[in-house]
A and B are shown apart, each in its own frame.
Chain A
Amino acid sequence: MRNTFLTAVLITAAGLFLLPGSASAHHGWAAFDPDSTVTLHGTVTDFHFTNPHCVVEFDVKDDKGQNQKWQGELTSLNRLARKGWSATSMEAGDDITVSGYPARNGVLVIRISKIAVKGRELIVDMGN
């Protein structure tokens, strides 16, 4: 059974945690740079339709043809489910193109704002 509880943690705590002087929460989106957008083309290696964030793992070939292992973060299962997503929205081997905000610290993680799987664009909810 899919759980909403991590979403609940986020909803309840995120607003509080974002203010100075408080402890750091399960992460918000501050680690990603909204002023910078990248677009990547690759192959899905795994898709986690789960809370608190759905996560897609995918390989992107670099200039030398070597696979770079990327991770794309989406909003929660519950939000995406309301947009028609499911655990089978993508699977290993699928061709994807994603756009979004890269991690500020340079790790290969992106907050996805736009995604197309096998050429079909899926609606992305940018909520928490």
Chain B
Amino acid sequence: MVAPYRALAKNVPASRDSRGFLLCSLSLAAFLSASFATTRGQTLEQPRRAPAAEAPDEAGIPVTDPLVIAKCGACHANDGHGNIERISTARTTPEGWQDVLRRMVLVKGMSLTPPEARTIVKYLSTHLGLAPDEARPVMYDAERRIHDESDVANEELVDACTKCHTFARALSWRRTAGDWKQFLEGHAERYKIPPHEGAVAFFARAAPLITPGWTGWSNRTRAQNLVGRWLVTATLNGRGKYYGEMVIEAAGAGTDDEFKTRVNLRSAKDGSALMREGRSALYDGYAWRGRSKGGVSASAAPDDPASEVREVMCFAADQSRAEGRWFWGQYQEFGFDVKLQRAVPDDARLLVIDGTALKTGSQGQRIRLIGDNFPGEVIPADVNFGPDVTVRRIISHSATEIAVEVDVSAGAQSGRRDVAFRHSSIEGALAIYDRIDYIKATPESTLAAFGGPGWPRGYQQFEAIGYQRGPDGKRHTADDVQLGPVDVTWSIEVFYAPADTNTDTVGNVSTTGFFTPAAESPKSNFDVWVIAQAREEKDADGKPLVGKAYLVVTVPFYTFNGRRYVRDLERWVDDGPARAGQ
């Protein structure tokens, strides 16, 4: 028997009953906790009814799914033409609809089983979703990436939106002008914030319900055909490049938008293998949402790449490629940046090279080219590193790997360049440089979090990346050439601490740049330099190059005016009434 979703929601600990955790909690409940039951087959086969071009914006998009009509229509009026109040006048991402459903369950008392929730989210995300071009600029929100939003149009919008959530959260929606007004008025009342008339006008103009992009995407007909073998490349901060394959199978007979996956990855850095299995769903023909895990044990390190991850990806319209993030961690601080490309039988494909940079004048450098379907015979002319880099010989080759030896002339032009095997190339795969001018400790500014009772810590992996000054000859300018990881020693220095606090308890950084905060919160935040000192590279004065990252180690939560606030990515969000001992 499937537990009513309302009951599941009641069991959610109060610490999860916050805006910050809506997505994660509902995602788990709606997609992953139960088996993938066969969903109502009519949802994806139905032709979507985008309003005619001449139809007024306020007309809305009719809802045709019986379950949505039954569940949502119990409270939301139907205009008799299929338009359901507040639903037909809005579009958003799967996460946006999950957020709405969860609020309806928690606040409005809506009763849903997990299969019903999945069906409704699937229908709404498909028929009232975003076109790929609309979703792409806000994908960092669904991918749980901390992202620079310094380009928000004006201070009023900053004030209206970004104090509590990302601006992308707002721009993940499209609404009629009337619905934007109604939504923003309700939002102001619910969260006790002043109304922003300018915000209504902005969103009505910038994010209308009907757009050419949406109409065009809605009118496209396409078969769901992701089943098969896909080539995977991925990078994981601190662990480098991975490559391998993902085999996608239909989750069940007659299902074309729910999948089982098997992934085999190998680290280009150390050769270690990683196998994952998962389940996923595809919304609106491009939005991949799933979970997968490797054989991780309970005692595994928090950054173990076999950890269970949430997968968020976008497939290209022609379903030949996909890109996204597979992430985990208390603050989603760990994640693979993933790219998929469909494997084509007998097509020789270069996927990744083992190495990131070569110095001018260097001789006999060994580089591995990793790919798929490499032919039985390979000659140096098959491999191209651009001008002034000569492939001296093929050291070895197989169907998936070619090892070559190259020479770089002293006069080779510095900068990034493509690497190619016959017709298959990787853009900007290799950098040529004359010297490393400086290093950055990355991420340059970030957060970690102390633990607390029953509260996992937030970790941070740092890397030291070398840079060459670029054609303008100046450091820290846009044309600087990133050269890849540099061998360094790591240390930390607390440079701001509240009075009378013991800075010894902040945490430590490992020899690989992994910062582990203290398990117990000292109830203060600390500002810390995470310092990378190059082992070999020196500056003009002969001193080792040094890079510093600005790390703020925060408390996991705090209470104010009887309410508890927890961190959600980079923001503090209201977590509800504080409980005893907090």
Chain B: interface residue total (CB-CB under 8 A): 40
**Pick the contact of A5 from B447, B495, B498 — CB < 8 Å?**
B447
A97 at the interface (CB under 8 A from B): no
Interface residues of A (CB under 8 A from B): 1-6, 8-9, 11-13, 16-17, 19, 21-27, 31, 46, 48-53, 55, 71, 78, 81, 87-88, 91, 105, 109
Question: Are B477 and A22 in contact, CB atoms less than 8 angstroms apart?
Answer: no
Question: Are A105 and B495 in contact, CB atoms less than 8 angstroms apart?
Answer: no
Interface residues of B (CB under 8 A from A): 146-150, 162-164, 443-447, 474-477, 495-496, 498-499, 523-525, 527, 546, 548, 550, 552, 554-555, 558-560, 565, 567, 569-572
Chain B residues, Cβ within 8 Å of A23: 523-525, 555, 558-559
Question: Are A6 and B150 in contact, CB atoms less than 8 angstroms apart?
Answer: no
Question: Are B570 and A8 in contact, CB atoms less than 8 angstroms apart?
Answer: yes
**Given A3-B443, A23-B524, A25-B525, A48 and B548 contact (CB-CB distance below 8 Å):** yes
**Given A12-B163, A27-B498, A27-B525, A5 and B570 contact (CB-CB distance below 8 Å):** yes
Least Cβ–Cβ distance between B172 and chain A, in angstroms: 17
Report the separation of the CA atoms of residues A31 and B495 in the bound assembly, to the nearest whole angstrom: 12
Least Cβ–Cβ distance between A108 and chain B, in angstroms: 11
**Given A50-B444, A91-B475, A6 and B552 contact (CB-CB distance below 8 Å):** yes
Secondary structure dominating the interface of A:
loop
Smallest CB gap from B497: residue in A: A27
**Given A22-B558, A23-B524, A88-B477, A2 and B444 contact (CB-CB distance below 8 Å):** yes
**Pick the contact of A52 from B164, B552, B555 — CB < 8 Å?**
B552
Instruction: List 5 contacting pairs A-B, 8 Å CB cutoff, sorted by A.
Output: A4-B149, A8-B163, A13-B558, A48-B444, A53-B550
Least Cβ–Cβ distance between B130 and chain A, in angstroms: 23
Query: What total count of A-B pairs have CB within 8 Å?
Result: 113
Chain A residues, Cβ within 8 Å of B162: 8
Report the separation of the CA atoms of residues A25 and B475 in the bound assembly, to the nearest whole angstrom: 33
Chain A residues, Cβ within 8 Å of B477: 87-88
Report the separation of the CA atoms of residues A80 and B553 in the bound assembly, to the nearest whole angstrom: 23
Report the separation of the CA atoms of residues A12 and B163 in the bound assembly, to the nearest whole angstrom: 6
**Given A6-B445, A12-B572, A105 and B523 contact (CB-CB distance below 8 Å):** no
Chain B residues, Cβ within 8 Å of A22: 558-560
Report the separation of the CA atoms of residues A21 and B523 in the bound assembly, to the nearest whole angstrom: 12
Question: Are A50 and B445 in contact, CB atoms less than 8 angstroms apart?
Answer: yes
Report the separation of the CA atoms of residues A49 and B560 in the bound assembly, to the nearest whole angstrom: 32
Question: Are B444 and A81 in contact, CB atoms less than 8 angstroms apart?
Answer: no
Question: Are B559 and A6 in contact, CB atoms less than 8 angstroms apart?
Answer: no
Smallest CB gap from A57: residue in B: B548
Report the separation of the CA atoms of residues A87 and B567 in the bound assembly, to the nearest whole angstrom: 29
Report the separation of the CA atoms of residues A49 and B546 in the bound assembly, to the nearest whole angstrom: 15
Question: Are A5 and B499 in contact, CB atoms less than 8 angstroms apart?
Answer: no
Chain B residues, Cβ within 8 Å of A24: 498, 523-525
Report the separation of the CA atoms of residues A16 and B557 in the bound assembly, to the nearest whole angstrom: 13
Smallest CB gap from A9: residue in B: B570
Least Cβ–Cβ distance between B477 and chain A, in angstroms: 6
Question: Are A3 and B146 in contact, CB atoms less than 8 angstroms apart?
Answer: yes
**Given A9-B571, A48-B550, A1 and B148 contact (CB-CB distance below 8 Å):** yes
Least Cβ–Cβ distance between A66 and chain B, in angstroms: 18
**Pick the contact of B569 from A5, A16, A50 — CB < 8 Å?**
A5
Report the separation of the CA atoms of residues A22 and B564 in the bound assembly, to the nearest whole angstrom: 10
**Pick the contact of B150 from A9, A12, A81 — CB < 8 Å?**
A81
Smallest CB gap from A49: residue in B: B476
**Pick the contact of B445 from A13, A25, A51 — CB < 8 Å?**
A51
In the complex, which of the residues A8, A16, A27 has the most CB atoms of chain B within 10 Å of its own CB atom?
Answer: A8
Report the separation of the CA atoms of residues A81 and B151 in the bound assembly, to the nearest whole angstrom: 12
Chain B residues, Cβ within 8 Å of A12: 163-164, 571-572
